Amino acid sequence: MALLPKLQNEYAERVVTDVFAGYRHKARIGEGEFYDTKNLSSAYYPLLGNRKKRARVKSMKNPGGLLAKEKLAFVEDGTLWYDGAETALSDLAPGEKQLVSMGATIVIFPDKMYYNTADPSDYGSLEAAYSAAGAVEYSLCREDGTVYPAPTLAETAPDSPNDGALWIDSSGSTRTLRQWSAALGEWSEIPTAYTRLRFISEGELPQMFHKYDGISISGAAIETYNGDHVIYAIGGGAGELDYIVVAGLLDRAVTQTEGTVKLARKVPDLDYVIECKNRLWGCRYGIREGKNLNEIYCSALGDFKNWRQYMGLSTDSWTASVGSDGPWTGAVNYLGYPMFFKENRIHRVSVSGSGAHQITETVCRGVQEGCAGSLQVVNETLIYKSRADICAYQGSFPESISDALGDEHYDTAAAGVLGERYYISMRDSGGEWNLFVYDIRRNLWLREDELHAVRFAALGDELYCMTPDALLTMAGSVGTPEPFVSWEAETGMLYYQYPDRKYLSRFNLRLYMEEGAQIDVYLMYDSDGEWVRQGRIRMKGTRTVTLPVRPRRCDHMRMKLVGRGEVRLYSIAKILTMGSDVG
């Protein structure tokens, strides 16, 4: 008697998903996770819901930098805009800009320009340059510019000096300026000698330079005065010749009639610039005047124009070289510390009240080149794009938070923050742009769409986004909103944990849908590449919808929801029927 195979009875199993755990672009993912998403939001967690409508604020031509102060500032086609209006800065060079806020001022790099938002008439260049045409007079003077009487230069003190007489003591290795005091009956040392340089212009210098500016002088007939100096006094005006006072000991008055004396207040070329503790900080890697630079700089305290002010004070400018190799890739003010990045280094500056700032170096994953815009602080955690992944940093070593993004390689990242969510726009290896959102509280990623963001800036409860051709708001509170949001959610392999042959008999979806919204449900069997539409859901309000599925046995399957309009998905119940191993 022939033996026939014993068939098992089929039975049904109900699998319910009521917690939706975001994006995980992996071959094997957990229940409630999605292999791919589009335009979904974690704001409704554990529900699945679409993001808010974005809004278009304005179309843009040649957009540059973006900055949020009390109002929004941006650069478009060479013009700085503030609070929705064009400013007087309208001749900026083409290209991307770094807009840095310091007090009421917006500082623009690499143009080295500034704009005072509290006083629109106060704007211009951080740098200044003046060339002296005609005679230049050098005279020994007090700090305020008052010219001294002619001193006596000798190794021994003059006999029978008048009160206030000056003597330059040349007996030692360095000359010392002394003044006779009849009341004390002795020669008192003047610790710092000053020299006045007077020009033939009237009122031009006080418009270009200010007291305590750090300047560079060249072309002076007396070599001592060529180089870096600080202006201790400045004057000039209608009917009064311009002058500056710098430190220096002069044994006699001199008039220079040949050559050109040049004065310049210079700002270094900087790769990245930030504000921290009432200073601007920057870094530079490259070659200048034949020298290889690998430096960190800061401006004088409270003075964004002065980067070469050296007076021996705690408020001075500061420069330091670093030994790590490679270009700088980003900078950020993190918890009150200026931090500068390379691809394999973090350099942190400990700011000293005495001016003796110190740099510490951490060898670790830094910022990927081209991803300086990814540096953002979310809930006191610094997040940025490294070459290998996206990192979270809290002061020790960075930790990866981007395992959910899979093995795809991304570059050219720009990021912004809205509440507890980190938005990052990146380019994949195929040249396509992707916008991802990370919810730091829930440790949950979602992919929104193909938005190419150049810059982000958060202002109040809104996140502004600059694209190559438009200015958008991500929460849609300002501008013209898009008509609706199209969204998608694609699962990974469903019921791959069961070795038996099985089929799906129906779905039960618990939904809220606004009027006019719709959802199409698709299935793909055994990864054959074909999405089979199972039906469309249209309704208004909240209820459970049953979607029957034509039975089809398979090893595994994927499901994709394609929706339009406002939708909240509470749960998905899958009714599975298990059969025998016999096909």
Peptide bond into 191 cis (omega under 30): no
∠ CA 292-293-296, nearest 5°, is 170
Closest by Cα among 463, 394, 456 to 426: 456
Q: In which residue are the tokens 């008439």 written?
A: 121
Minimal CA–CA distance to 327: which of 289, 362, 369, 299? 369
In which band, very low, low, confident or very high, does the pLDDT at 242 lie, cut at 50, 70 and 90?
very high
How far, in Å, CA of 86 to CA of 76, rounded? 9
Q: Are 169 and 280 in contact (CB under 8 A)?
A: no
User: Is residue 434 pLDDT above 80, yes or no?
Assistant: yes
Round to whole Å and give the CA distance between 473 and 66. 13
Residue pLDDT, tens place only, 80-107 = 999 999 999 999 999 999 999 999 999 9
Total length of the chain: 583
Would you list the DSSP string of 253-293? -EEE-SS-EEEEE-----SEEEEETTEEEEEEEEEETTEEE
Instruction: Indicate the pTM of the whole model.
Output: 0.91
Q: For 11-51+486-578, CATH number?
A: 2.60.120.260
CA 4 to chain CA centroid, Å, is: 73
Task: Kindly report, residue by residue over 503-559, the tens digit of the pLDDT.
Answer: 677 888 999 999 999 999 999 988 888 999 988 999 999 998 888 877 677 778 889
Please list the residues that pair with 417 across neighbouring strands: 422
- In this predicted model, what pLDDT tens digit does every residue of 453-489 receive, in sequence order? 999 999 999 999 999 999 999 999 999 999 999 999 9
| pLDDT tier at 69, thresholds 50, 70, 90 | very high
Percent of the chain with pLDDT over 70: 95
- Residues spanned by CATH 2.60.120.260 within the chain? 11-51+486-578
pLDDT above 60 (res 497): no
For residue 583, the model assigns a pLDDT of 46
Residue with the larger pLDDT of the pair 580 and 57: 57
CB atoms within 10 A of CB 366: 28
Q: What is the pLDDT of residue 13?
A: 75
Residue tagged 């409630």 (tokens): 32
Distance between first and last Cα of the chain: 24
What's 32's DSSP letter?
A: T
**What pLDDT is stored for residue 582 in this prediction?**
47
Q: What is the mean pLDDT of residues 206-227?
A: 96
Q: Residue 11 above 70 pLDDT?
A: no
Confidence of residue 31 (pLDDT cuts 50, 70, 90): confident
**What pLDDT, in 10s, does the model give residues 327-366?**
999 999 999 999 999 999 999 999 998 989 999 999 999 9
* Residue 58: its H or E element: strand 55-59
pLDDT (mean) for 155-180: 92
List the one residue out of 348, 274, 351 whose CA is nearest residue 102: 274
**CA 153/CA 163 separation, integer angstroms:** 17
Average pLDDT of 205-211? 96
Confidence band, pLDDT 50/70/90 cuts, at residue 290: confident
pLDDT (tens digit per residue) in 112-139: 999 999 999 999 999 999 999 889 999 9
User: What value does the mean pLDDT of the chain take?
Assistant: 92
* SS3 label, residue 477: coil
Peptide bond into 110 cis (omega under 30): yes
